Structure 1
Amino acid sequence: MTFTLQPRWLVALLALSSMSPHTAAFQSDLQQQPFRISSTTQPLGPTTYGKAQRVAVIGAGAAGSSTAYHLQQYAANATIPLDITIFEASSRVGGRTTTVNALDDPRYPAELGASIFVSVNHILVDAAEEFDLEALEAGAARPSESKYEIGIWDGKEFVYKSMNDDLGFLNLVKLFWRYGLAPLKTQRLMKSTVAKFLKMYDEPEFPWKSLTDMVSRVGLLDTTASTGWQFLKSNGVGEKFGNEIIQASTRVNYGQNLGLIHGLETMVCMATDGAMAVEGGNWRIFDGMVKKSRAHLRLNTSVEEITRLEEGGYQLSLSKKERHGVRTQTEDRFDSIVLAAPFQYTGIKVSPALPHQPDEIPYVTLYVTLLVSPHRLSPKFFSTPTSPLADQDFDSIPEIVITTLPAGLDLGSSPEGVGPTKFWSVSTLRSIPVNGSAQYLYKIFSPQPMNATFLSRLLDFSVEAKEDGNDSVDNVDKRHISWSYEKKWHSYPYEYPRVTFEDLNLDAKGLWYTSGIESFISTMETSALMGKNVAKLIVNELVEKSGSDLN
C-alpha cells in the first residue's frame, strides 16, 4: 500500500505524474491494452461439479477483495460452482484504505490510508470503471493559494520548490539546470523497470506459483537485491538528484531512505503517471469487488485457528464481536483457505503446524494526522534568519512539503531514518468554509504522534503549557485547531533488499497466502494482483481435478 502524494512538478520533471496532460508522450510505450478478467487466456472450458467448492478468504482488504472477485470470475468462466465466504475482523471492507470526514462532514472526506492509484494499475482502473466509480485527479481540491505547489525540505532549507501553476516548462528548465541529465536517466530507468513488472499480468508468466521464480524470470532480481542507492548509482543517476528528489519520494511513500529501501520499490515511487483517487474513497473499489463476488461477508469476525482435517479440507475457529461481547464458534468445512493479511498480525494458529511459517517482517509504524485550522503553514518554521526573503512569507511556503535528509547525512539502513525534519510530509488538502471564513485541511505523515508544541510551531500559534504536562493535539484551543484525527498504521514493510519471497501455498495443499508480495512491492494494485493470481491458481487446480474426486 502506497500513501502517495502526487506532485505536478514530478510530472514535468520525469513525465511520470499526470497532474498535467503534457506527459502522455513519455508513457506511450508503457500503455497496455485495457486489462480484462480473462486477460489473453483461452476459456477453461465447461466443467460440472456435483457440489460447490467452499473457499474462505481471510481479510477484506485489497488482496482479499480481489481474491473473491477474481475467484467468482474465473470459476464462472469454467462453470465451477463456488461458495465464497470472506471473514473480516474489522467492521468494514477496504483494509488499509479508509476515509474520514473532516469536521464530521461527509462533504469533506479525506483518505487516511492508500491515497491514490495510477494509470498503470490496470486492476484498480478497470474495477473502478466496471463499478461506475468516479475517479478524480489527485490533488484536485487543493486551494492553490501559494506560489508553490510542492517543496522538498531537509530540516534547514527548501532544496527544491516547484511553482503552483501550469508553467511546466519553467519547472522543467529549473530541474535540468540543477540536476543535469539525472531526470532523464531516472525516467528511462523507471520505464524499463515497469515494463518488466507488467509481464507478470499476462501469459506466459501469469499465473505464477512462486513469486521468487517470477521475479527472476522477468529480470527484476537484481533490482530487489540492491538498495535504492546502489541501484541508482549503478545506473548513473547522480547523488544530488537521488537525495533531493528520489529520496523525498521514497520517504513520503514508504517512510524509508535510499540506503534501506530496495531498488524496485524506489522505482515504484517514481512511476506515478495518471494519479487518481475514487470520489468518496478508494475503499469503494474493494467494496465493489466484494459485492460482485457474491461472497458471504462476515464482518467483525476474526479467525482464531485454522485446522487441517484428516479427511481433507479445513475447519475454522472464529470469534465474532457482538454488542454484548465476543461469541466463539467453529465453521466446517472449507476446501481452500486464502489468508489475505500479514500472517504476523492475524494471531491465527494453524494446526497441524505449517512446514514453514511466513517470516515475521518489520512493518513501518506510520502516524497519519488530519487536522483543520485557520492557520497557514508558517514561514518561521521552515526558514532561518539567513533564509532568502523569498522564503519568509506565507506565499513562499509550498502547499505540500515533503522531506529529505540534509546533504552529507547518511543514516544508512537505519529504520529510524526521519532525520532532523521529524516528519515525512505535510500536505494542504483543501480549504473548508467554517463560520464564514476559510480553514485548511492538512494531512501529516510522521513516525511519531503529533503534539501541540510541534503544531504550534508548524502553524505559528501560541499554546499554553498544561499543568499535567499533557501536550496532545486534543488540548489545543479550538480557535487554532478546530478538528483533528489521528491514525496509527502498520502501513507497509521495511523494504530491505532481498532475493527470495514467501511461498504462495503454505501447506502444499489448500492454504494460500497473499501478503508475501508486500516485500516485493507494497501497493493496492500489487495486493490486488496477488489476489487475482491466487484465484487463478485455485480455479486451475479445480479444473485439473474435475471428473475425479470432486464430482
Structure 2
Amino acid sequence: MRALGITLLGQLAFALRSGSNGKGNGALAEPEVAAKRVAVIGAGAGGSSTAYFLSQNADAAGIPVDISVFERGARVGGRCTTVNAWSDPAQPVELGASIFVDVNRILVDAAEKFDLSTASMGAPRAEGAAELGVWDGKQFLVKTSDEDGWWQKAKLLWRYGLAPIKTNSLMKSTVAKFLTMYAEPVFPWKSLNEVVHDVGLADTMAMTGLQFLTANGIGEKFAHEIIQASTRVNYAQNLKLIHGLETMVCMATSGAMSIAGGNYQIFDRMLESSSSISTHLNTSVTKISKQSDNTYNLTTSSGEISSFDDVVLATPLQFASIEIDPAPEHVPDEIPYVEMFVTLFASPHRLDPKAFNLEAGKQVPNFVLTTLPDGEDTGSDPNGVGTPGFWSISIIRTGLNPHGAPSPENIYKIFAPKPAGAKLLSHILGKYISDDEAEHGSRNGAISWIHHKTWHSYPYEYPRVTFDEISLDDGLWYTSSIESFISTMETSALAGKNVAKLIVDRWQGMADGEIVTVQSNEEWGYTGLKGQHQRPLEAEL
C-alpha cells in the first residue's frame, strides 16, 4: 500500500540533500511537507461539511491540505436553495430543504459559529384559522392551534388516548440512539452496516413505520391521522412503505427553525471558512481515474485533468454522470428516489374553504397535511398519494408584491407527485387560473408569482439493514450511503464530518507506518487505524 505522508527517514534524506537551512549556518533545513490534495465532488450539505471538517481535522493534526470542491451547478447548497419571490432579491423563499431542528447539532452549531440569524417556523395567522390541519381528501380529521394550549392537548388525549405520549417517548429513545453516532467511541464509523447494529437501530430499520409503531403499542388512529401525515409531508411516503427510523425522525420537530435569507448560507460559510478550501462552481467532473500509485486523476467537462490523493464523492453516484475507471471495488447501488414536484406561488387570496368541504367563511388551516381516507389502502405503492392528490399545501410566509397593492400576499408551497397545474390551483383558490398564469403568474392576478421545481428529493426509505460502503476504494470515499438511513441536511453534514475524520485518521496511520484498511461490509474489522473495533494483525494473516 502506498505510504502517504513524509516519513522521518524521508525528512532526513530531504534535509541532507538540502545541506543548509538557507541561512548559511549549515544546520539541517526544515523540510517543506507537500499538502495533501483532496477533491470533493458536490457542494451540497455533504460536500461542504466534508471540506469544512477535513480542513479543521487536518489543521489539528498538523497536516497541510489543499481541498478542491467541484460543483456542477452555479451555487452552493445542493437540495438546499432559495428562489426570489417576484424576482426580488430582498424576498428569498426556501425551495428545497426548509427547516432543521434543535437536535441537529452540526447545523445549529454552525449557525451559531457563523452568526447566522435563525427564526422559528410559523405562518401568519388569519383570524379564525387553525395552524395545522390533516386532510384526507374528504374532511379535516384534526385541526390544531398553538393558541389552544392545554385545551388542545386535552382534545388530542381524548381522541388518541396515550398514543401521543407514547410516540413522544419512543421518538426520544430512538433519536438518543442515533445521537451516539456523533461522538466517541462510535464516531467515526467505518461502516453504516456496523454502526446501525452497534447503536441498536437495526430492528427499527428492518420494519416499516406501521410495523414499528404497532410493535411499540402506538394506536392505529394516531398513526394513521398524525404520524402518517408527517411522513407524507416530510418524505412523500406512507407508513406501510417508509422504515421505522425515518418515521421517528419525522416526529422529532422540537425547535424547528430556518436561517433568515436561506439555509444554504450554512454550507456557503463552511466553504468560505478556510483558505485551504477552493470552490469551483459550474464545474462538472466527468471522469475519475485511479492511477498506479493510488492517486486519482479527475477530468472536468472542460477537459482539465488534476491529480488528487483522495476523492470524496458527495453526491449520489447514480445522478452524477461520472465515469470511474477502473470500476471501484465497491459500486453503490442505484436506488429509487422520490420525484417531488414543488410549486411556490404568491396570491392575495386564502385557500377556498369550499375546496376543503368547509362552510363558507371558515378559514382553511395555514398548513394542510394529508393522509389517506378510511378504507383506502395504497399498501407499499410508492405513488401512494391517494385521494387527497397532494402531499401538503402550506402558507410559508407573506411578502409584498412590488408590482401590486401594498398589502401583503400569501406565499404558498405545494408538495405533490405531479405538477400543480391550472386545474388544481383554480380549485384550491376558488378563482379561475389560466394555463399561462399557472405556469408564469400574472403580476396583479390571482397568482402574482409562481415557481415550479422538480427534485429527486430523497430516496424511498424502504426498510433495510445493509448500506453502500463509505470507502468505495482506497482513497475514494462516498457520503451518500447515508441517504437510505436518514435523508436530511443534518445527516448529510454528519456523513461529511465522518468521512473527513476517517481521511485524516488514515493519513496519520499511514504516516506512522501502520497497516490500514477501512472495513467493508463483507468483513468487519481492520488493522492499524486508530479507533474502535480493532482486530489483532493475526486475524488478517
Query: Fold conserved (TM > 0.5)?
Result: yes
Cα distance change on mapping 1:344 and 1:430 into 2, 3 Å: same
1:429 maps to: 396
Give the whole-Å Cα distance in 2 for the aligned partners of 1:543 and 1:485. Answer: 49
**SS of the residue 2:303 aligns to:** strand
Superposition pairs of residues 246-395 of structure 1, within 5 angstroms: 246-294=227-275, 295-319=277-301, 327-331=302-306, 333-383=307-357, 391-395=358-362
What residue identity is the alignment partner of 2:152? Answer: N
Give the whole-Å Cα distance in 2 for the aligned partners of 1:445 and 1:108. Answer: 21
Spell out, residue by residue over 1:242-291, the C-alpha distance to the aligned partner (whole angstroms, 9 max, x if none): 00000000000000000000000000000111111000100000001111
1:29 maps to: none
Residue 473 (structure 1) aligned with residue 439 (structure 2): yes
1:151 maps to: 133
Give the whole-Å Cα distance in 2 for the aligned partners of 1:49 and 1:531. Answer: 29
**SS of the residue 2:267 aligns to:** helix
Q: Specify which of 410, 426, 440 is matched with residue 456 of structure 1.
A: 426
Give the whole-Å Cα distance in 2 for the aligned partners of 1:369 and 1:145. Answer: 25
Answer yes or no: is the 8 Å Cα contact 2:441–2:449 preserved in 1. no
2:217 maps to: 236
Superposition pairs of residues 171-190 of structure 1, within 5 angstroms: 171-190=152-171
2:205 maps to: 224
Give the whole-Å Cα distance in 1 for the aligned partners of 2:491 and 2:345. Answer: 30
Structure 2: runs of 5 or more not aligned? 1-29, 515-541
2:481 maps to: 516
Answer yes or no: is the 8 Å Cα contact 2:442–2:449 preserved in 1. no
**SS of the residue 2:387 aligns to:** helix
**SS of the residue 1:301 aligns to:** coil
Answer yes or no: is the 8 Å Cα contact 1:49–1:546 preserved in 2. no
Answer yes or no: is the 8 Å Cα contact 2:338–2:458 preserved in 1. yes
Give the whole-Å Cα distance in 1 for the aligned partners of 2:268 and 2:124. Answer: 27
Give the 4+ runs in structure 1 shifted more than 6 A: none
2:507 maps to: 542
**SS of the residue 1:68 aligns to:** helix
Between stretches 354-363 and 526-535, larger displacement belongs to: 354-363
Give the whole-Å Cα distance in 2 for the aligned partners of 1:137 and 1:269. Answer: 17
2:45 maps to: 62
Give the whole-Å Cα distance in 2 for the aligned partners of 1:104 and 1:304. Answer: 33
Give the whole-Å Cα distance in 1 for the aligned partners of 2:125 and 2:220. Answer: 33
**SS of the residue 2:304 aligns to:** strand
Q: What is the CA-CA distance between 1:486 and the residue it aligns to?
A: 0.7
Cα distance change on mapping 1:304 and 1:407 into 2, 3 Å: same
Answer yes or no: is the 8 Å Cα contact 1:66–1:531 preserved in 2. yes
Q: What is the CA-CA distance between 1:480 and the residue it aligns to?
A: 1.2
What residue identity is the alignment partner of 1:485? Answer: H
2:5 maps to: none
Answer yes or no: is the 8 Å Cα contact 1:376–1:394 preserved in 2. no
Answer yes or no: is the 8 Å Cα contact 1:156–1:382 preserved in 2. yes
Give the whole-Å Cα distance in 2 for the aligned partners of 1:96 and 1:438. Answer: 28
**SS of the residue 1:418 aligns to:** coil
Answer yes or no: is the 8 Å Cα contact 1:48–1:79 preserved in 2. no
Spell out, residue by residue over 1:81-117, the C-alpha distance to the aligned partner (whole angstroms, 9 max, x if none): 0010000000000000001111122332210000011
Give the whole-Å Cα distance in 1 for the aligned partners of 2:34 and 2:361. Answer: 68
Answer yes or no: is the 8 Å Cα contact 1:68–1:293 preserved in 2. no
Spell out, residue by residue over 1:413-442, the C-alpha distance to the aligned partner (whole angstroms, 9 max, x if none): 111110011111111122334413342111
Spell out, residue by residue over 1:322-356, the C-alpha distance to the aligned partner (whole angstroms, 9 max, x if none): xxxxx32211x100000000010001111111223
Answer yes or no: is the 8 Å Cα contact 2:41–2:285 preserved in 1. yes
Structure 1: runs of 5 or more not aligned? 1-46, 320-326, 384-390
Q: What is the CA-CA distance between 1:367 and the residue it aligns to?
A: 1.1
1:109 maps to: 92
Spell out, residue by residue over 1:63-86, the C-alpha distance to the aligned partner (whole angstroms, 9 max, x if none): 000000000111111110001000
Cα distance change on mapping 1:477 and 1:101 into 2, 3 Å: closer
1:194 maps to: 175
What residue identity is the alignment partner of 1:484? Answer: I
What residue identity is the alignment partner of 1:543? Answer: Q
CA-based RMSD? 1.8
The TM-score normalised by the length of structure 1 is: 0.85
2:519 maps to: none
Q: What is the CA-CA distance between 1:545 and the residue it aligns to?
A: 1.6
Q: Specify which of 460, 468, 472 is matched with residue 494 of structure 1.
A: 460
Answer yes or no: is the 8 Å Cα contact 1:49–1:80 preserved in 2. no
Residue 504 (structure 1) aligned with residue 470 (structure 2): yes
Give the whole-Å Cα distance in 1 for the aligned partners of 2:66 and 2:442. Answer: 52
Superposition pairs of residues 406-445 of structure 1, within 5 angstroms: 406-433=373-400, 434-445=404-415
Spell out, residue by residue over 1:10-44, the C-alpha distance to the aligned partner (whole angstroms, 9 max, x if none): xxxxxxxxxxxxxxxxxxxxxxxxxxxxxxxxxxx
What residue identity is the alignment partner of 1:404? Answer: T
Answer yes or no: is the 8 Å Cα contact 2:288–2:298 preserved in 1. yes
Give the whole-Å Cα distance in 2 for the aligned partners of 1:230 and 1:49. Answer: 59
Cα distance change on mapping 1:429 and 1:316 into 2, 3 Å: same
Q: What is the CA-CA distance between 1:548 and the residue it aligns to?
A: 5.4
Cα distance change on mapping 1:463 and 1:206 into 2, 3 Å: closer
Number of aligned residues: 481
Give the whole-Å Cα distance in 2 for the aligned partners of 1:426 and 1:120. Answer: 26
**SS of the residue 2:147 aligns to:** coil
The TM-score normalised by the length of structure 2 is: 0.86
Cα distance change on mapping 1:285 and 1:471 into 2, 3 Å: closer
Give the whole-Å Cα distance in 2 for the aligned partners of 1:56 and 1:460. Answer: 52
**SS of the residue 1:136 aligns to:** strand
1:77 maps to: 60
2:74 maps to: 91
Larger Cα-atom Rg: 2
Answer yes or no: is the 8 Å Cα contact 1:495–1:519 preserved in 2. yes
**SS of the residue 1:100 aligns to:** strand
1:5 maps to: none
**SS of the residue 2:177 aligns to:** helix
Give the whole-Å Cα distance in 1 for the aligned partners of 2:512 and 2:233. Answer: 52
Q: What is the CA-CA distance between 1:186 and the residue it aligns to?
A: 0.4
What residue identity is the alignment partner of 1:426? Answer: I
**SS of the residue 1:266 aligns to:** helix
**SS of the residue 1:353 aligns to:** coil
Q: Specify which of 118, 124, 144 is matched with residue 162 of structure 1.
A: 144
Give the whole-Å Cα distance in 1 for the aligned partners of 2:161 and 2:248. Answer: 19
